[in-house]
Amino acid sequence: MKVTVYNLKREQVGELELADEVFAGEVKEQLFYEVVKAQLASRRAGTQAQKERSAVSGAAKKLYRQKGTGRARQGNLRAPHRVGGGVAHALRTRDWSYRPTRKMRLGALKSALSLFAKEGRLTVVDDFALAEIKTKSVAQTLGALRAEKKALVVDDASNDKLVMSMRNLSEHRFLPPEGVNVYDLLRHEHLVVTKKAAKALEARCLRQNTGEP
């Protein structure tokens, strides 16, 4: 597929050929759920924990004899029903993360990129070179590109001026091509990529070696 390439004033400066398999494929929305669920599960800390009776400090001696006292039978101070005792069925730390198959991850990423292209929310710019580090300049540029609302900007990580200029924009986010993921794509209204980044995303989706998409 061919996409229009703009400068930072949204003036057409050329066209770019991109792979149909990546930017014009079938949008499989069911993959979004599976991959985003896995991403969010992997972010869970899983650090909740409680002490069961074996982990609570206190004597393990039986409090008093079994019979003849006229009181209910009691074990020791660490029993769950006693104040300061352990917790029955205590929570344990656990790892919630799991990893969908590579085919599923790549399919979801390609579907998300195709969705942006299909809905006209993908903007390819020739370059995103800034004269200085200034948040206001980036906000004005995104406005000129008609991506003023929740834009995900993708360019090489070496573009320090762009990275630092976007740090204070709460509605927008910068990511390098290797960091683009389905969750962040679906959280934004617009995708702004440079030509170099678009080709890097294409190569990432088409390579056959193993690794995180």
CATH of domain 2-44+98-206: 3.40.1370.10
Q: What 8-state DSSP symbol labels residue 73?
A: -
pLDDT at 208 (0 to 100) = 53
Tell me the pLDDT tens digit for each residue of 77-131.
999 999 999 999 999 999 999 999 999 999 999 999 999 999 999 999 999 999 9
pLDDT at 209 > cutoff 50: no
Contact 34, 71 (CB under 8 A): no
Q: How much is the pLDDT for 210?
A: 43
Binned at pLDDT 50, 70 and 90, residue 207 comes out as: confident
How high does pLDDT run on average in the chain? 93
Domain ranges of the chain: 2-44+98-206, 49-92
Is 45 in a helix, a strand, or coil?
Answer: coil
Q: Say if residues 8 and 140 touch (Cβ distance below 8 Å).
A: no
Overall average pLDDT of the 199-209 stretch: 84
Q: Residue ranges of the alpha helices (H) in 59-127?
A: 102-118
Q: What is the largest CA-CA distance in the chain?
A: 96
Alpha helices in the chain (DSSP H): 20-23, 29-43, 102-118, 135-144, 160-165, 182-186, 195-206
Other Cβ atoms within 10 Å of 170 Cβ, number: 6
Q: pTM here?
A: 0.80
Is residue 140 very low, low, confident or very high in pLDDT (cuts 50, 70, 90)? very high
The mean pLDDT of 51-58, rounded to a whole number, is: 93
- Return the axis-axis angle of helices 102-118 and 29-43, rounded to nearest 10°: 120
